[in-house]
Amino acid sequence: MRKTISAAAAGLAVLAASLAVPAAAYAGDAAATKTLHLRKGLTLKIPSSWRVDADRADWLRVITGSCPTKGTDTYGFRDSGCHSFWILGPKAIKVGHELFQAYTPDGPFYPATDVGPCPVKKKLYIGRTTLAEKGLRQVGPGHKADYRDWAGTCRTLTSGTVKARFNQREWYLPTSRILVIDQWRTPGLAAILENATWN
């Protein structure tokens, strides 16, 4: 029993340490954060260690950790292993469903016509995706997003065996035409969005 309690306490300590940096982003620690100005006046405070790739305005990517595909020809929405989340604008939303139809919250963002690569594990492919959670989520004062959490599986292409799982969280602001997509359960992101400001 003592070993179990000690192990649980150690696990909680590791979890608390892993959340410390993202927590600074919404706790007001200016030295540990930077400001990210987005379309329609949406402003986020994010950890200063996160890198912003704004090469394409409607496909802005915030890289939060390791990103082995950066600088390669596979870098993009359908790559594997790049710890990040996306902030998408109208041009991306316009082609956000299968067969490049316009995105709506009734299905996960998936701008493709074929089987996509697994976002969290290389050499696997996306299998079945089911709705795990939905509702409204605050994104700064006076703005609520249509929120969806899609639970996905990653399978081998040959046997179809499930080898990994991921969740694709989506915050959609239809009036502002902004869609935030996170396939890595980025620590602190929900609170960062909740504490956003609008200018």
Pairing of strands 42-47, 33-37: antiparallel
What is the three-state SS of the chain? Answer: CHHHHHHHHHHHHHHHHHHHHHHHHHHCCHHHEEEEECHHHEEEEEECCCEEECCCCCEEEEECCCCCCCCCCCCCCCCCCCCEEEEECHHHHCCCEHHHECCCCCCCCCCCCCCCECCCCCCCEEEEEEEEEEEEEECCCCCEEEEEEEEEEEECCCCCCEEEEEEEEEEEECCCCEEEEECCCCCCHHHHHHCCEEC
Tens-digit pLDDT profile for residues 71-88: 999 999 989 999 999 999
For the cut 50, the answer to whether the pLDDT of residue 159 exceeds it is yes
Q: Which residues contact 134 (CB under 8 A, 6 or more apart)?
A: 105, 146, 147, 148, 149
Tens-digit pLDDT profile for residues 180-198: 999 999 999 999 999 999 9
Least confident stretch, 58-67, 82-91, 108-117, 159-168: 108-117
For the cut 70, the answer to whether the pLDDT of residue 2 exceeds it is no
Tokens of 57: 């305005």
What percent of the chain has pLDDT above 90?
A: 77
So what's the pLDDT on residue 30?
A: 60
Tens-digit pLDDT profile for residues 8-65: 444 434 334 344 444 444 444 566 999 999 999 999 999 999 999 999 989 999 999 9
For the cut 60, the answer to whether the pLDDT of residue 4 exceeds it is no
